Amino acid sequence: MHIDRELKLDFSDVLIRPKRSALPSRAKVDIHREFTFRNSQRKYHGIPIIAANMDTVGTFEMARALALFDLSVAVHKHYQEEEVIEFFESVKVASNAFYSMGITKDDAEKFDRVAQRLGDAIEYVCIDVANGYTAGFVKFVEKFRQAYPKVTIMAGNVVTGEMTEELILCGVDIVKVGIGPGSVCATRSMTGVGYPQLSAVIECADAAHGLDGRICADGGCVAPGDIAKAFGGGADFVMLGGMLAGHAECAGELVEQDGRQYKRFYGMSSRTAMEKYSGGVAEYRAPEGKEVLVPYRGPVADTLREILGGVRSACTYVGARKLRELTKRTTFVRVSGNRNGSFDES
């Protein structure tokens, strides 16, 4: 047993301290990013926010809506092969989409068949597991990289610098960071395992950038300010689930209660998801997600404008003309659980 006594922080524990700025308006802020990925050598240009690969959020409809704003979607893995092929053949939209998969034999064989049909049409792949620390996951990533050297791989989830480095050296371009911070994730309460998300982002970003790799902060954002904090902490991409739930582009029928309309939103390790895709919860495990009803919010476009406006505004408060400058100009001030000063990460 070991106790790490170093302070760790979530997004709610800090604010970004304002600094003098010469920016006349948030309209002058460029929140696009450009990357050349370490392993695939592919180039990226867009606003680095990604809709999560959950079956309620990572839909084709969401991909089409977010593409209009230069945002991306990790399309969930439960679509049928023919549906996936038809979608990725629509190159203009698919260029902003990640193909999502797990690490089972069926996942690998399905991707092989799809890739044979589509050739280079799939540029991005999200290899997603709840626990990115297993030897089997690492071996799968290594084998996948060898088979598909030109595909940009996002994979996770992990929360520590050393595992971030290992995944990048195994062929991952974007390491997905986060265990337990999501609004419908119950991993922390069910297992006691997790890591405060802001500290995970800061530590994993430091490890990744030393190897010219990238990270995606996955989970824990409940408001546009949290997205700004993630970018300020060093995240290259931010993945959103709950903030995009409940919209017209999300899967699922509308549910009416007490005269109000809702949509169901649930974690992919919830009982709901396991009954839907795995025939129920296996005897050897427990659900690590939950289901909630989210008020129906109509088309996602207005929410996207609010999110992007919040990030632009954060940049103006610290004088960052481009999103890539935000982390260099960020000083975090602790606002809870601290009586001895502030935490600075300049």
Query: Catalytic residue positions?
Result: 185, 187
Q: State how far the Cα of 55 lies from the Cα of 227, in Å rounded to an integer.
A: 22
Backbone phi, then psi, for 87, in 5-degree steps?
-65, -50
Tokens of 42: 């592919």
Strands 237-240 and 49-51: parallel
Q: State how far the Cα of 98 lies from the Cα of 88, in Å rounded to an integer.
A: 10
For 273, how many CA atoms within 13 A lie in the half-sphere containing its CB? 23
Tokens of 175: 């390491």
Helices 135-147 and 161-170 cross at an angle (nearest 10°) of: 30
Please check whether residue 38 is in contact with residue 226, taking contact to mean a CB–CB distance below 8 angstroms.
no
The burial class, CB within 10 Å (0-12 / 13-18 / 19+), for 112 is exposed
Residue with tokens 């996002």: 154
SS3 (DSSP) at 298? strand
